[in-house]
Structure 1
Amino acid sequence: MKNTITIPVAAMLLALAACADSPAESFAKAQKEYAANNYAAARIHLANALNEEPGNRAMLLLKAQTLIALGDGEGAAAALQQLVGTAKPTDQLAELSAEAALLRGASDVSTAFLTGIETAEADRLRAMAAIQKGDLPLAAQHFEKGLARGGNARLYADYARFRLMAGDLPGATDMAAKAARLAPGGIDTLLVSGEIAVRRGDLNSALGFYDQAQRLYPASIAALVGKAAVLGDLGRTDEMKPLVAKAAQAAPKDLGVIFLQVKLAASAKDWTRVRDLVQPLETTLAPISPVRLMYGEALLRLNLAEQAIAQLRPLAQALPANREVALVLAEALLVSGDPQAAMALLKPFADSPLARRAELVLMARIAKAAGSPAAAGYQARANAPQPQSLTRDMADADAAMRAGNWAGAVAAYDRVLAVTDGRNVMVLNNVAYAQLILGNTAKALEFADRALKLAPANPSVLDTAGWAQFKSGSNPERARQLLRKAAQLAPKNMTIRAHLAEAERTPD
């Protein structure tokens, strides 16, 4: 017979209470978690501490800061209200109140809190409020005032993002460098540095910034979304998928997260999934939202051409020079039975000396459906590389390589390879090198091997192939053999010598 022991309920509760943290211990844990940027954990410890000491000012202040870090403007405002009561917040509390208001979308309330506060941080918040209201000139004035006061890391980072939005890449880079000098590991610094690297096409550096941001700030949805987006641009969808799933679980209504889900589904040509994701948001999409293009294509592929046209036409009107939008809309018009409208839309692109093959192929179909005698000419051009377009793509690729825009270089070289026989050694070698810098080792090896078969005695080709092999770690001895041969053929090439030296000193 099994013996049972009965424990009185009162005794059990007393035992549990004895094991619970004191308010001071919970607060200490919250401070530690906040310092480690684990804001969700800090919030839990603060709730425990404030349950026992609801009026503790130090705890309430940290609670407000924690909730702001989590993006909870309503909760932060409530905590700050407990701190100030009926008085007007001043100094740090005024700035925190202004930031909490910004999180709630209350830009006028935010600026009202800052009345009489003359600090760089107050200027930053005023600038952000102006951006929220769409007054960009006023935002620039506030940023400049903040700079004149000496600035701070967050102001530099936000001003960098502002300049990036305005297309001022050098100015954005300068501001981001200033932010990095003051707070190299700050979340704002890392995120804007990642954005700038993406704009430059240096996706590998961007991935490094977002990866660091994700590690240092595990609660940051922006870091998670940024990293996932870069992985998508790199074509590393297997690595992207779990990050997107995690972000969707944490922030299912976040537009950045939804965009990534849509992008992932579109890359897999899962058009039903794209439609199901976007349809509930259809009426809220901005006229030039990139989601609209993917949604329009999904509707087209699902044989809903008229609905696709309704989505794509405003986008084409807003972005008349966008080739991708014109291509999809022209196809939708063709499918809907209006080849004349499709022809009028695509003609400026197809008639250009810089026309791409996809545009010419579709234009040939459209012209044939419209009964135009120009159809044969478009088809003939589609079947042969266009010299001016090819020259432009080569120039774009070379310029991107010189600028370190590796993603841009790959995209331009891909267009070259698509309309040639794919046997240009320089192109293959450069694509391999760019893919290697981007972290796509498997693709780098593929292109390097193709170049090596065509030019087995070219030192540059040997170096790229050997370095790609070394970076992959799959065959260190072959990597050393290729690099040794490259060094023998070009003994004065310092890059080759450096690659060989590293390969030689690295154990298998």
Structure 2
Amino acid sequence: MRILAKVALGGTALAAIAGVALAFAAPARADSAAAKNDLVLSLGLLKDGNFNAARSYAQKAIAADPKWGLAHAVLARTFLALGDGVGAESELGRAATNGFDMARGHQMLADAWLIQGDAKRAMAEADKADPRFGGYATRVTAKALALQGKSPDAIALLGELLSVDPSNSYAWSDLARIRYNAGDIAGASANAQRAVALDHANLQALTLRGELVREQFGLAAALPWFEAALQRDAYFHPALIEYAATLGDLGRYTDMLAATRRALAARPGSPQALYLQAVLAARAQNYDLARSLMQRTGGAIDDLPGALLLGGTLDYQAGAYEQAIGKWRELVGRQPLNMTARRLLGAALLRSGDAKGALDVLRPVALRGDADSYTLALVGRAFEATGERDWAAKYLDRAAWPAADGVTPFGTDDGLAVLANAANNDPGNPVAAVDMIRGLIDAGQSGGALDRAQALAAANPGAPAAHLLVGDTLMTMGRFGDAADAYRRAADIKFDEATMLRTVDALDYAGRRPEANNVLALFLGQHPENVAALRLAAHWQIAARDWDGAIGTLEDLRSRVGSRDAGLLAELTYANIGAGNDDDALDYGAAAYEIAPMSPAATDAYGWAFYAAGDADKAKDLLEKAALLAPRAPGIRWHLAQAYADLGRNAEARAQIALALGGASFTDRAPAQALLKTLG
């Protein structure tokens, strides 16, 4: 490849500008001293990472001397730094028209075409670059290869460049971005750190470092990196978009809106900024505004996952169910593990009358031991619609009181032979390998699954999904401590919700609740808006009898998810009972029971609220119903026993206590045994 011969002769990120500046001392056309001064300032600002200011001064130089080709070339370079390929191409054309030697501009024109998405044309143009600018040209070629799906070739090419030019900060950040997109988060993080260390003005590296820190350590930890980029250039669009999205996830909506407005000032009509504003509008239930903002994007980001999710939601809210189904089906096809998209698609299909389609979409989620009640209820209703009453009853029963079996992988309906055949026919396909391992787990062949999972993790040490798979396998084998270690290796690379829940679950099963609490607290410190983490924290606060803490957490949750979540209202009932707030407990218990009268949790909570308020008779009726709905729940038996005891029905109370004590998960053994003694 001809471009490889150029690597040793060039390579810094601003090599093109350095070459351009060689002609600065004697420009063909530069009659204005002001133009010269402005161009010097532009070059300095470009080097310092203030790209928008550099563009402004280059434009001033052109205004002072419109026929100066070099000024047009420098302006083109600022456009490239800002990600404007069209603007850069136009300015390079003007530069050539006004005397700039395009033998020094092939690498810049290649970059402009690459930004516009024309990888093949970019590679052809990069191959024409002068050897002085070989490093820049090689970077363009590597990114073009990655854009064509040839990431290994791109990584190898950048590796060759860095072997002869190890101080090339932009090559390191390009390598980091390609590895990040390929799922090698650990490798990407190391490369991004190297890029920033070499050049603190590399805004691409600073922004990427923020994205990676957000993956590894959380939302709050990422903010300083985006802020560091914005301190260099307050209107650097990529950093503003990532900054705004992170602020939104942290619940800092006013700051998020301000960041999106700056992004729109930097790049008028920015589809990404308009999308984020649409998300804000949708969260505020201003769906008309959200739709208007999405329409203003002109369809530029319609195929992105977030836009598909939001677009489908807006279509569904407007009654355009088929359009919503189309968007969500596309999203599930791209992201089969996206449970939110599956739930939405399943609900829409069921509403449209396609019960079988809903079952196909929801089954992988419903097969999980920790499936949520909403999904289970959807599956139950879908089975009802297909006339399969027995299956409907099974899932509706689970929906009434979903089992908390921990975080588990998706179930699979494909046979092991089918999965093995797919993996063997495409040994380089990680998706097929993962499916095969999950198939072995489902088939009870944990040993074989573990061997394959560990081999996959060894081959992909920077990919968190590989370590999660090892942990999942160890969990099925009952090796909870080892599973926690595997999950922690994944968390060191990417500390997201799924990894946190798995780690906490494994530590809890291993009897290491304090460590599990620390992991949860660390995650909440970085993701204070995360609903799953808040639910878990509240549940544990109730278990620890931290009633006031639980009430605070649950009220925070209620402000986010609304007041139609029966499980949340039931937990608020229990927490208020513990805190002695009997009136509030009755109100929450009544609300939970009204929403889900067949839920044993809601029924028990409401009955227990009556008991706490001194009405054992009303409590008994509800608690008896709860016991019928969930006959193997020892906590309900214990509540019913106390109501019977207060009503003088001692024999029945003793029977209920015996049933409660027979439950392995029953935690109130001492008070139950003490009451049993008093009953004779």
Question: Can you list the C-alpha shifts for 1:202-226, whole angstroms capped at 9, x where unaligned?
Answer: 2222222111112212231100001
TM-score, scaled relative to structure 2? 0.54
Q: Pick the aligned partner of 1:380 from 390, 397, 421.
A: 397
Secondary structure of the 1:147 match is: helix
- State how 1:26-41 maps to structure 2 within 5 Å: 26-27=38-39, 29-31=41-43, 33-34=45-46, 36-41=48-53
Instruction: Identify the residue that residue 140 of structure 1 maps to in structure 2.
Output: 155
- Closer, same or farther: CA 240–303 of 1 in aligned 2, 3 Å: same
Contact 2:269 2:297 in 1 (8 A): no
**Counterpart amino acid of residue 144 in structure 1:** G
- Closer, same or farther: CA 129–301 of 1 in aligned 2, 3 Å: same
Asked if residue 165 in structure 1 is aligned to residue 181 in structure 2, the reply is yes
Does 388-397 or 136-145 show the bigger shift? 388-397
**Counterpart amino acid of residue 384 in structure 1:** W
Secondary structure of the 1:295 match is: helix
Instruction: Identify the residue that residue 297 of structure 1 maps to in structure 2.
Output: 313
Secondary structure of the 1:376 match is: helix
TM superposition shift of 1:154: 0.7
Q: Pick the aligned partner of 2:292 from 276, 279, 284.
A: 276
Instruction: Identify the residue that residue 67 of structure 1 maps to in structure 2.
Output: 79
How many angstroms apart in 1 are the aligned matches of 2:392 and 2:529?
A: 40
How many angstroms apart in 1 are the aligned matches of 2:498 and 2:326?
A: 34
How many angstroms apart in 2 are the aligned matches of 1:409 and 1:333?
A: 26
- Closer, same or farther: CA 125–345 of 1 in aligned 2, 3 Å: closer
**Counterpart amino acid of residue 491 in structure 2:** A
Instruction: Identify the residue that residue 316 of structure 1 maps to in structure 2.
Output: 332
Q: Pick the aligned partner of 2:491 from 376, 381, 403.
A: 403
Question: Can you list the C-alpha shifts for 1:303-355, whole angstroms capped at 9, x where unaligned?
Answer: 22222223223333444443222211111112223334323432332133342
Asked if residue 187 in structure 1 is aligned to residue 275 in structure 2, the reply is no
- Closer, same or farther: CA 302–447 of 1 in aligned 2, 3 Å: same
- State how 1:88-237 maps to structure 2 within 5 Å: 89-91=102-104, 93-114=105-126, 115=128, 117-118=130-131, 119-151=134-166, 152-237=168-253
TM superposition shift of 1:376: 2.8
**Counterpart amino acid of residue 149 in structure 1:** V
- State how 1:412-427 maps to structure 2 within 5 Å: 412=501
- Closer, same or farther: CA 375–101 of 1 in aligned 2, 3 Å: closer
- Closer, same or farther: CA 76–311 of 1 in aligned 2, 3 Å: closer
Secondary structure of the 1:219 match is: coil
Contact 1:153 1:183 in 2 (8 A): yes
Instruction: Identify the residue that residue 365 of structure 1 maps to in structure 2.
Output: 381
Secondary structure of the 1:389 match is: coil
**Counterpart amino acid of residue 524 in structure 2:** Q
Structure 1 vs Structure 2 CA RMSD? 4.1
Instruction: Identify the residue that residue 267 of structure 2 maps to in structure 1.
Output: 251
- Structure 1 gap ranges (5+): 1-19, 417-423, 462-508
Instruction: Identify the residue that residue 333 of structure 1 maps to in structure 2.
Output: 349
Question: Can you list the C-alpha shifts for 1:214-245, whole angstroms capped at 9, x where unaligned?
Answer: 22122311000011111222233232122123
TM superposition shift of 1:103: 3.3
How many angstroms apart in 1 are the aligned matches of 2:351 and 2:118?
A: 46
Question: Can you list the C-alpha shifts for 1:358-387, whole angstroms capped at 9, x where unaligned?
Answer: 311322333344443233322221233424
TM superposition shift of 1:29: 4.7
Larger radius of gyration: 2
Secondary structure of the 1:140 match is: helix
How many angstroms apart in 1 are the aligned matches of 2:500 and 2:250?
A: 11
- Closer, same or farther: CA 344–435 of 1 in aligned 2, 3 Å: closer
Does 116-125 or 182-191 show the bigger shift? 116-125
How many angstroms apart in 2 are the aligned matches of 1:330 and 1:147?
A: 49
Q: Pick the aligned partner of 1:435 from 524, 529, 532.
A: 524
- Closer, same or farther: CA 227–367 of 1 in aligned 2, 3 Å: same
How many angstroms apart in 2 are the aligned matches of 1:230 and 1:426?
A: 27
TM superposition shift of 1:182: 1.1
Instruction: Identify the residue that residue 559 of structure 2 maps to in structure 1.
Output: none
How many angstroms apart in 2 are the aligned matches of 1:173 and 1:24?
A: 40
- Closer, same or farther: CA 375–271 of 1 in aligned 2, 3 Å: farther
**Counterpart amino acid of residue 102 in structure 2:** P
Contact 1:296 1:312 in 2 (8 A): yes
How many angstroms apart in 2 are the aligned matches of 1:221 and 1:371?
A: 54
Question: Can you list the C-alpha shifts for 1:255-305, whole angstroms capped at 9, x where unaligned?
Answer: 432432333234334433343344576866666633112211222232222
Contact 1:37 1:218 in 2 (8 A): no
- Closer, same or farther: CA 56–288 of 1 in aligned 2, 3 Å: closer
Asked if residue 389 in structure 1 is aligned to residue 406 in structure 2, the reply is yes
TM superposition shift of 1:76: 3.3
**Counterpart amino acid of residue 76 in structure 1:** A
Secondary structure of the 1:163 match is: helix
How many angstroms apart in 2 are the aligned matches of 1:350 and 1:285?
A: 31
How many angstroms apart in 2 are the aligned matches of 1:277 and 1:400?
A: 40
Contact 1:203 1:406 in 2 (8 A): no
- Closer, same or farther: CA 348–406 of 1 in aligned 2, 3 Å: closer
Instruction: Identify the residue that residue 49 of structure 1 maps to in structure 2.
Output: 61
- Closer, same or farther: CA 22–409 of 1 in aligned 2, 3 Å: same
Secondary structure of the 1:388 match is: coil
- Closer, same or farther: CA 426–63 of 1 in aligned 2, 3 Å: closer
Secondary structure of the 2:406 match is: helix
TM superposition shift of 1:78: 4.5
TM-score, scaled relative to structure 1? 0.70
How many angstroms apart in 1 are the aligned matches of 2:100 and 2:69?
A: 15
Instruction: Identify the residue that residue 489 of structure 1 maps to in structure 2.
Output: none
Q: Pick the aligned partner of 1:345 from 361, 366, 379.
A: 361
Does 332-341 or 75-84 show the bigger shift? 75-84
- Closer, same or farther: CA 36–306 of 1 in aligned 2, 3 Å: same
- Larger RCO, structure (CA 8 Å, separation 6 or more): 2
- In the alignment of these two chains, the number of paired residues is 428
- Structure 2 gap ranges (5+): 1-31, 410-471, 506-512, 550-680
The percent identity for this pair of structures is 27
Secondary structure of the 2:187 match is: helix
